[in-house]
């Protein structure tokens, strides 16, 4: 599904990712944890093709294709979904309209017919129900003035609608209350299936009380320095990162 080998990337001339390796297979849920500033969000941005994040080495393959040969839109259309720590706000762009455009762009890229308004509304209602969400956010502009919890809710809903093959969720370092964490976890658990892979980037061991990852990785100084099962998250909760990074406990 996703293979990352020796990935190096710079931001503003400074190397942030320093040779990162990661392999994600179909249906697997991977958690990436690590001290603040270790490069977790940078990894998400590099994979999404965000401006200002320069790849300086290594390679990334998504379903056999060189990810960096694809435009950011093409990555999304092939089933890569990235949810951000700080999602963009699009004032003046209705959330439902935005989602329909994104969904149909993906369908078109896969050679499927576009969903008409009636089918789209039906699908939306069905997915809202599955996730136990209401439709209040859909009438608003994309992320405009959304609280942290509302952005998360919207993100999970987008994921449910777009049915990605690989979703990368970058959790905020602060400000998410327990309800928002639960919502993200419930969404991930609901949308988990044998074909869909997920990478959950998180600062919090707590999130992993609700999401049971298949693998846990520790990212420090721009690369993955330790990988294990979900017991690794418990160990980190107990001991911090210091025993792995060789620095002061984070
Ligand atoms: P994490 O998500 O693990 O907390 P980040 O990927 O956000 O870490 O940041 C890693 C490092 O890269 C930090 O030192 C941060 O200051 C730097 N960095 C990230 N984005 C930018 C940017 N746009 N401009 C300058 N420095 C950045
Ligand atoms: Mg951070
Ligand atoms: Mg971050």
> Structural domain tally of the chain?
1
Record the tokens describing residue 232, joined without a space.
């690794």
pLDDT, mean of residues 61-82: 91
Q: Is the pLDDT of residue 157 over 60?
A: yes
> Which atom of ligand 1 lies closest to the CA of 201?
2
> CATH number for the domain including 180?
3.40.50.300
pLDDT, mean of residues 43-68: 94
Question: Long-range contacts: 55-59, Cβ < 8 Å, 24+?
Answer: 55/7, 55/8, 55/9, 56/8, 56/9, 56/10, 56/15, 57/6, 57/7, 57/8, 57/19, 58/4, 58/5, 58/6, 58/7, 58/8, 58/19, 58/20, 59/3, 59/4, 59/5, 59/6, 59/7
Record the tokens describing residue 241, joined without a space.
């990162």
> Which residue, by CA, sits nearest to atom 27 of ligand 1?
11
**Residue 35 domain flag:** yes
**Residue 147 domain flag:** no
Distance between CA atoms of 30 and 24, rounded to whole angstroms?
A: 7
**Lowest-confidence pick of 40-44, 71-75, 118-122:** 71-75
CA 41–ligand 2 middle distance (angstroms): 7
**Residue 217 domain flag:** yes
- What per-residue confidence (pLDDT) applies to 250? 44
Give buried/exposed letters for 144-173 (b at 16+ CB in 10 A, else e).
eebeebebbbbbbbbbbbbbbbbbbbbbbe
pLDDT, mean of residues 70-89: 78
Distance between CA atoms of 78 and 86, rounded to whole angstroms?
A: 23
**Residue 215 domain flag:** yes
**Residue 126 domain flag:** no
**Residue 250 domain flag:** no
Tell whether ligand 1 has an atom less than 6 A from the beta carbon of residue 36. Answer: yes
Summarize pLDDT for 206-246 with one digit per residue, the tens.
Answer: 788 888 899 999 999 999 999 999 899 888 888 888 888 77
> Which atom of ligand 1 lies closest to the CA of 85?
2
Distance between CA atoms of 169 and 172, rounded to whole angstroms?
A: 9
**Residue 106 domain flag:** no
Q: Is the pLDDT of residue 18 over 90?
A: yes
- Residue ranges making up the domain that contains 83: 2-90+165-244
Tell whether ligand 1 has an atom less than 6 A from the beta carbon of residue 118. Answer: no
Round the average pLDDT of the chain to a whole number and report it: 87
**What ipTM was reported for this prediction?**
0.94
Nearest listed ligand to the Cα of residue 40: 1
**Residue 152 domain flag:** no
Summarize pLDDT for 99-124 with one digit per residue, the tens.
Answer: 898 899 889 988 999 999 999 999 99
> Which residue, by CA, sits nearest to atom 13 of ligand 1?
37
Tell whether ligand 1 has an atom less than 6 A from the beta carbon of residue 51. Answer: no
pLDDT, mean of residues 167-188: 79
Instruction: Categorize the per-residue pLDDT at 173 as very low, low, confident or very high, splitting at 50, 70 and 90.
Output: low
């Amino acid at each position: 599904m996703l293979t990352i080998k020796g990935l190096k990337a710079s931001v503003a001339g400074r190397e942030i990712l320093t040779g990162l390796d990661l392999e994600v297979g179909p249906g697997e849920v991977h958690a990436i944890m690590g001290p603040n500033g270790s490069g977790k969000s940078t990894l998400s941005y590099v994979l999404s093709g965000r401006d200002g994040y320069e790849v300086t080495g290594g390679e990334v393959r998504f379903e056999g294709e060189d990810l960096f040969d694809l435009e950011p839109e093409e990555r999304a259309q092939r089933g890569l979904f990235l949810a951000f720590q700080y999602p963009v706000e699009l004032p003046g762009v209705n959330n439902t309209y935005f989602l329909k455009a994104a969904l149909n762009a993906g369908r078109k890229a896969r050679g499927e017919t576009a969903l008409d308004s009636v089918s789209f509304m039906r699908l939306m209602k069905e997915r809202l129900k599955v996730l136990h969400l209401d439709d209040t956010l859909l009438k608003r502009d994309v992320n405009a003035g959304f609280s942290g919890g509302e952005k998360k809710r919207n993100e999970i809903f987008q994921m449910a609608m777009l049915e990605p093959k690989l979703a990368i969720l970058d959790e905020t370092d602060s400000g998410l209350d327990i309800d928002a964490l639960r919502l993200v976890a419930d969404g991930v658990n609901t949308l988990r299936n044998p074909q869909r892979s997920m990478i959950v980037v998180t600062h919090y061991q707590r999130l992993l009380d609700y999401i049971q990852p298949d693998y846990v990785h520790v990212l420090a100084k721009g690369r993955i320095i330790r990988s294990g099962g979900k017991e690794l998250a418990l160990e980190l909760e107990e001991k911090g990162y210091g025993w792995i990074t060789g620095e002061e406990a984070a």
